[in-house]
Amino acid sequence: MVKNSHWKSKHFWTEGWGSLGLAVFVALFIRWAFFEAYVIPSGSMLPSLLIHDHIFVNKFTYGIRVPFSEKWLVKFSEPQPGEVVVFKYPQDMSTFFIKRVVGRAGDRIYYEKGTLYINDQPIEKNPPMGNTEFEAVRDKDFQENGDVFDSKGNYVHFIENLKGKKHSILLRKGEIYDSFGPVTVPEGHLFVMGDNRNKSSDSRYWGFLPEQNILGRASIVWLSCEETLPVVSFLCNPLTIRFNRFFHLVN
């Protein structure tokens, strides 16, 4: 009788090194094709996404890519206005950004005095019925980059209706808003903006987003905290966990 080689044995794949390798392969496959975790590092998407929100990004919704490439193996759908996407920053492909899609190819974009115009039509914005999202925001969230005198009281919360997709935005009170545009989004590109309109580096400043840079759509907050641990800054301080953010859908 010929004995099976070690790597073909059942024990190797269930209890040996093969089981570890298989687990790593499955984890990497899920991360490549389906879901990947990211952490929100800044306040550019306030109040929709808070600083230190841990989110899952659905990488499967738009298609499957060739591994280690920006090329699509197969595409299932296109990003739609109102969706929140994670992407490789066009000016530094090693950096990941998160913004909201506001314009697709062919759309004419204009922004003036806090109002977004798409194809010459102003996008409706109204005060919210309640301020639940805004209530979770802290003064500290506006004091990034040494702006210690900024605070929550300097901002107004609105609900923007972007082609039927209602979502929160923040505008700074009394701000003299710069005009932007009009520009027309070229083929194969998107126009993206942060929900915290006065504190977001987006397409108004660095240009159109190539669709091939998109990694996926932000889907759900699975963990959130106000502060991280001082030594390992990527881990939440368990004393500051926002339990009400668990399984919060990204709108």
Q: Is residue 99 annotated as a catalytic residue, yes or no?
A: yes
Q: Are strands 180-184 and 209-210 parallel, antiparallel or unpaired?
A: unpaired
Among the options 99, 125, 152, 199, which is catalytic? 99
DSSP assignment string, 132-164: HHHHT--GGGG-GGG-TT--GGGEEEEEEEETT
What are the distances in angstroms from CA 130 to CA 100, 203, 240?
22, 30, 24
Phi, psi (5° rounding) for residue 34?
Answer: -120, -70
DSSP state of 208: P
The terminus-to-terminus CA distance of the chain in angstroms comes to 63
Phi, psi (5° rounding) for residue 66?
Answer: -65, 130
Among the options 42, 44, 200, 224, which is catalytic? 44
Single out the residue of 121, 85, 87 nearest to residue 195, CA to CA.
85
**Strand ranges (DSSP E) for the chain?**
35-39, 53-58, 63-65, 72-75, 84-88, 96-103, 108-112, 115-118, 121-122, 125-126, 155-162, 165-172, 180-184, 189-193, 209-210, 214-224, 248-249
Q: What positions carry a catalytic annotation?
A: 44, 99
